Amino acid sequence: MPEEKTFHMSLEEFRKNGYAVIDWIADYYNNIESFPVLSQVKPGQVRASLPDEPPVKGEAFDAILKDINELILPGVTHWQSPNFFAFFPANASGPSILGELLSSALGVQGMLWMTSPACTELETQVLDWLVDILGLPEKFRSGGAGGGVIQDTASSATLCALLAARERATDYKTNSCGCDGRLIVYASTQAHSSIEKAVKIAGIGSENLRLIDVDDKFALRPDALVEQIKKDRQAGLAPCFVHATVGTTSSNAMDPLPEIGRICKEEGLWLHVDGAMSGTAAVCPEYRFIHNGLELADSYCFNPHKWMFTNFDCDCFYVADRAALIKTLSILPEYLRNKATESGAVIDYRDWHIPLGRRFRSLKLWFVIRYYGVEGLRFHIKRHVDLARNFAKWIEESENFGLVVPPPLNLVCFRHKGGDSINRQLVEKLNRSGKLYLTHTTLNGQYTIRFSVGQTHTEEHHVRQAWQRIQETAGELENA
Ligand SMILES: Cc1ncc(COP(=O)(O)O)c(C=O)c1O
């Protein structure tokens, strides 16, 4: 009798194809600088290259891998290129890629401690290690009332913090009765847009989000916050949540946490601190100043998937009082009941975030921390900040360009002195060249170029070359 076709990839084939994929990845990283950093495809081009119909018959793995090169790579923007200076980085590293691979292989669902104890316990341990690594307040450690959890993104962390704050402010009644439209949330005009999304999702409403004015360094003004809270109370509203940022998206501004924290304590407001980008800087003791005042916060998050060499997605979210978060999000249907949960001796992370299911994300972070060690992480973070500071010095010394604001860490905001139009053309032309990728923002109503240093393999010569290209391209535009 002929053997029945299984359609599966046999283990022998898996081994062979797996080696081919690892080779592909190593070659990709080796050649990454030969690709245009920003994908140059036109809208619809990638899709048009794909068959209209799905394959009825399975295909050879070689053919699939070949299409990665031919069909997919042209439509990829190379975030792992050392010439990527756009947005904020979403960096990765060898250990994180391999950790991710193992996580996919294990394919566990860590919703409950019981569904894979190692998934929960490794996560708890790694998040406690990070309290040491970043010098975070002790209250975020899992041994006390607080603790940390890995979320997919900082947006989710903000939403979870806001939901817990909403419940704490309404004695856990909003969960059952809905919002009454009185709760008010505060953030600076420079806060990430995820806070606006969070207030919409949480049912608080975007009209109840107050965007507070900033100072000349784009940091939230505590006096303006106090004034707004007062106005809202006088209007019979219920202030409940302040979202402060260390390292804003536009300019890396640092909101003054000690003053904001004091106001939150006096007013009884939940303080959430968003360190999505810049939190990682605190691996270096010399940059820990960014977290001064964090001991006054109720919750905090930062993204290893931005700057800690851990591929997307991985956000570390900490709360000072885990009971508030769990009480807000906990659901226990019959089919999830188990003895370990009932014993109260374990953490069930399903109660710490929005989805039920959860991946084994701590593996990749654990791999990164163990492989680099704190020493290796510090080495690279300091190097990135030094590279950005050198770049800023060149800008300051140049006749045609100027800094818009002094760079606190690894993001440099600058402008050509010729006005918005030349700056806009400069960014477009540089990005079209494929040699580097930069993005922009608006600061003080002016088009501003952002130069963000944080890609894993960016070295001094990449930054030097970028500056050279920026100057040359500006020269061409000036003479056009
Ligand atoms: C300060 C800040 N907060 C939040 C976010 C949102 O990050 P995520 O994609 O993890 O939701 C960003 C993204 O760049 C950011 O810069």
Give the mean pLDDT of 78-102. Answer: 98
350 and 389, same domain (yes or no): no
Residues 14-71: tens digit of each pLDDT: 999 999 999 999 999 999 999 999 999 999 999 999 999 999 999 999 999 999 999 9
Q: Closest ligand 1 atom to the C-alpha of 87?
A: 14
Query: Is 164 a pocket residue for ligand 1 (Cβ < 6 Å)?
Result: no
Task: Let me know: does 407 contact 389? Beta carbons within 8 Å.
Answer: yes
Among the candidates 301, 329, 359, a domain finishes at 359
* 314 C-alpha to ligand 1 centroid (Å): 11
Same domain, 287 and 429: no
Proportion of the chain above pLDDT 70, given as a percent: 100
CATH value at residue 347: 3.40.640.10
d(CA 366, CA 96) in angstroms, rounded, equals: 8
Select from 197, 251, 252, 274 the residue to mutate for testing ligand 1; criterion: most ligand atoms less than 8 Å from CB. 274
Q: What is the pLDDT of residue 446?
A: 97
Query: CB of 278 closer than 6 A to ligand 1?
Result: no
Question: Would you call 345 helix, strand, or coil by DSSP?
Answer: coil
The pair of three-digit structure tokens given for residue 158, joined into one six-digit string: 């903000």
pLDDT above 70: residue 82: yes
| Cα 236 to ligand 1 centre (Å) | 32
Rounded to whole angstroms, the Cα distance separating 73 from 46 reads 9
Please write the tens of the pLDDT for every residue from 185-194: 999 999 999 9
Residue minimizing CA distance to atom 7 of ligand 1: 154
What is the span of the domain harbouring residue 164? 108-359
Q: Give the full edge-to-edge strand order of the sheet including 238-245.
A: 147-151, 315-319, 299-302, 270-274, 238-245, 183-188, 209-212
98 is a domain residue: no
Determine the atom of ligand 1 nearest the C-alpha atom of 248. Answer: 1
Q: Domain check: are 395 and 250 in the same one? A: no
What does 237-261 look like in DSSP terms, one character per residue?
-EEEEEEEEBS-TTT--B--HHHHH
Ligand 1 near 194 CB (within 6 A): yes
Residue 218 confidence (pLDDT) above 90: yes
Strand partners, 437: 84
Output the pLDDT for position 1: 65
Q: Does the beta carbon of 153 sit less than 6 angstroms from any atom of ligand 1?
A: yes
- pTM as predicted: 0.97
Q: How many angstroms does the Cα of residue 125 sit away from the middle of ligand 1? A: 24
Nearest atom within ligand 1 for CA of residue 305 = 10
Task: Reply yes or no on whether the pLDDT at 276 is more than 80.
Answer: yes
> 274 and 199, same structural domain?
yes
Report whether residue 249 contacts ligand 1, using a CB cutoff of 6 Å: yes
pLDDT of residue 480: 83
